[in-house]
Amino acid sequence: GQNIDQPTEMTATEGAIVQINCTYQTSGFNGLFWYQQHAGEAPTFLSYNVLDGLEEKGRFSSFLSRSKGYSYLLLKELQMKDSASYLCAVHPNQGGKLIFGQGTELSVKP
Amino acid sequence: GAVVSQHPSWVICKSGTSVKIECRSLDFQATTMFWYRQFPKQSLMLMATSNEGSKATYEQGVEKDKFLINHASLTLSTLTVTSAHPEDSSFYICSARDLGTGGRETQYFGPGTRLLVL
């Protein structure tokens, strides 16, 4: 079966760094996405990893290890507006359909 | 980044009517689009995969005769909720697949459509 695990909730302090982990077990692998979703809004694309390693994009970085079935999203210099749900999604085959985790609800406190 | 639009952003209708939602990729061609539904405080639920020029592929438990999907061009997919009932009230979100270059594909979501059936 297809399984993607990420923590349900996390809390962090404004200005700090937070790492949101995602582990996956899927029938195939053609890439992993991270999305940000604020309450009441649609998801916004953050990153796409298909090769092992770290990809940095401003305050956000995403890491992938295919051999371990593991990814993380790193958020630096946290701001209050970063409070949102962060979705990990795996693209298991060529058809494009994504398998989503349940999402991690991040609360940033002053 | 690429932009995907949805129209309308919200709709209120009477029970029994049909509602059409449009999803457009504005600056790239999308041979594949996806339709999701999301209830409050729940995760995204994939309803169907929309392929340009062919029939949509529906997920298990999704009625194809109730949720009609048409992907008539490389930039437009439509979802029609036929004979809508209050239990169909939800947040409907589309995404479009941008194959990009060098194997770096991305999937962008539209802003969503809130449907309220009275």
**With contact defined as beta carbons under 8 Å apart, do A83 and B20 qualify?**
no
Contacts of A35 in chain B (CB under 8 A): 109
Residue of A50, A96, A102 with shortest CB distance to B104: A50
Phi, psi (degrees; rounded to nearest 5) at B91: -105, 115
- Residues B86-108 have pLDDT tens digits of 999 999 999 999 887 776 788 99
Q: Give the ranges where A1-110 is alpha helix by DSSP (H).
A: none
CA distance B59 to B56: 10
Distance CA B22, CA B32 (A): 14
Pairing state between β A104-109 and A9-13? parallel
Residue A9 CA to residue B41 CA, distance in Å, equals 13
CB contact under 8 A, B104 and A96: no
Are the Cβ atoms of A96 and B111 closer than 8 angstroms? no
pLDDT tens, residue order, chain A (110 aa): 789 999 999 999 999 999 999 999 998 999 999 999 999 999 999 999 999 999 999 999 999 999 999 999 999 999 999 999 999 999 988 778 899 999 999 999 99
- How do residues B27-62 score in pLDDT, each as one tens digit? 899 989 999 999 988 889 999 999 988 899 999 999
